[in-house]
Amino acid sequence: MSNITPVTTDEGAPDDLPEPGDAMGDKQHGAVNKTYGFLRAIPTTVLWFIVVLWSLPTMGILVNGFRNRDSQRNSGWWKGLWPGNFGDFTLENYDQVINARQSIGQSLLNSFAIAIPATIIPIAIAAFAAYAFAWIDFKGRKVLFIATVSLLAVPLQVALIPLLQLATNGAHLTIPLLDKTVTLIPNLGFGNTTTIVWLVHTGFAMPFAIFLLHNYISALPKDVFEAARIDGAAHFTIFWRLVLPLSVPVLAAFAIFQFLWTWNDFLVANTFVGANPDAHPTTILIANLAGDFGRNENILPAAAFVQAFIPLIVFFSLQKYFVRGMLAGSVKG
């Protein structure tokens, strides 16, 4: 390997540059460099291949979003890209989505009112729990942790009906023999509001949030905590001043997904606020716009992109927190 100049960047390997002090003949030298250049290019080629493969299905709805209803129904999306068919391009689908009779503005607000608390509050709750599971010694911690994470396996469809009853009626227990009813959880009047939707999302998010954050927080270097404990820092301080700042990448990763899931959720929202049009998030609005039996299916490609716009912004803005070197200087070899 010593005949190869060290390359410091991943790309733009200087294949053609002559290497001073190389003992090999020019011909052989060229062959080696060519092979080397070819091998170096493989990862980038693989990446290109994956990116194209992953984007191709999406291209279908991207193109169809700009085609009118008849051409969407009668010919494949790729035909829209043939020069002769450029005349079919239109903005009317986007116009229909954005200027719908039932305004998209209110539903966007509802989506935010659901997705923002449903993202931030689980992070706050789960981070404290994950820290306790990872760095505080207490009885039964392993068993409780396993119990917590195993709730990840609960199929949500099952949980919805009991929770809907809870949200609309509260919980009451009738004591046998005495014939007396005790109210365990009163009806708080959250039924059919966005509040109950984000509360439910918060509960459903808990196992995954604790699982993911615990994995990261428990892997933080022990020295950091020991030094802080010796300096007399309390757990709350350690958590606030050390754990939170050091965990920024994983908090960002969780926030991206949780925001995405709650923003794109249809099932939970439809179960809890389906009957109240004022509280509908965009997913329900779009499903309603499409109409029964796909009558207005032509607006769905455009709607899918309007719907995906905000999560993509969240993804881009949180991605910069995936930074390298958070732990620089805290590990010794």
Partner 1 sequence: MNPIFLGLVTIVLGVGGCIGYFWASNLVLDKVIFPAKGKNIGRNINRANMVRPWLFIFPAFAALGLYLAYPVVGSFVRSLYGRDGSDFIGLGNYVWLLSDDEFRQAVFNNILWALVVPAGSTFFGLIAAQLTDRLSWGNIAKSLIFMPMAISFVGASLIWKFVYAVDAEIGIINAFRAWAFDADPVDPLQIGFWNNFFLMIILIWIQSGFAMVILSAAIKAVPDELIEAAKMDGATDSQVFWRVTLPQIGTTIGVVVTTIIVLVMKVFDIVKVTTNGQFDTNVLANDMFDEAFNIRDRGVGAALAILIFVSVLPVMIGNIRKMQKEN
Site for partner 1 in 281-320 (CB under 8 A): 283, 286-287, 290, 297, 300-301, 303-305, 307-308, 311-312, 315-316, 319
Helices 104-135 and 248-264, interaxial angle, to 10°? Answer: 140
Q: Rank residues 25 and 140 by Cβ distance to partner 1 and give the closer one.
A: 140
Distance (Å, whole) CA 185 – CA 298:
45
Residue 116: strand, helix, or coil: helix
Residue 27 CB, nearest approach to partner 1 (Å): 25
Q: For 183, phi and psi rounded to 5 degrees? A: -90, 115
200-239 binders of partner 1 (CB under 8 A): 200, 202-204, 206-208, 210-212, 215-216, 218-219, 234-236
| Residue 84 or 333 having the CB closest to partner 1 | 333
Count CB atoms within 10 A of the CB of residue 259. Answer: 20
Distance (Å, whole) CA 304 – CA 91:
14
Instruction: Return the residues of window 156-185 that contact partner 1 according to CB under 8 A.
Output: 156-159, 162-163, 166
By C-beta, is 26 or 292 nearer to partner 1?
292
Least separation in angstroms between residue 110's CB and partner 1 is 8
Size of the site for partner 1 (CB under 8 A): 117
What is the CA angle 54-60-62, rounded to 5? 95
Q: Which is nearer to partner 1, 54 or 293 (CB)?
A: 54
> Could you tell me the smallest distance in angstroms from the CB atom of residue 90 to partner 1?
18
Burial of 61 (0-12, 13-18, 19+ CB in 10 A): middle
Question: Rounded to whole angstroms, how far apart are CA atoms 212 and 145?
Answer: 12
With CB under 8 A as the contact rule, the residue among 144, 224, 228, 233 that binds partner 1 is 144
Residue 136 in the binding site for partner 1 (CB under 8 A):
yes
Tokens of 148: 């917590």
Q: Where are the beta strands (DSSP E) in 160-229?
A: 171-175, 180-185
Q: What x/- string results for residues 87 through 126 when contact with partner 1 is judged by CB under 8 A?
A: -------------------x--xx-xx--xx--xx--xxx
Of 327, 311, 177, give the one whose Cα is nearest residue 247. Answer: 327
Question: Any contact of residue 38 with partner 1 (CB under 8 A)?
Answer: no
CB of 26 to partner 1, least distance (A): 25
Interface characters, 240-279, with partner 1 (x: CB under 8 A) = ---------xx-xx--xx--x---x-x-------------
Minimum gap (Å) between residue 108 Cβ and partner 1:
10
Q: Are 263 and 197 in contact (CB under 8 A)?
A: no
Q: Which two tokens stand for residue 297?
A: 């299916």
- Under rule CB under 8 A, residue 66 binds partner 1: no
Tell whether the torsion through CA atoms of 288, 157, 206 and 251 is positive or negative: negative
Shortest reach from residue 232's CB to partner 1, in Å? 11
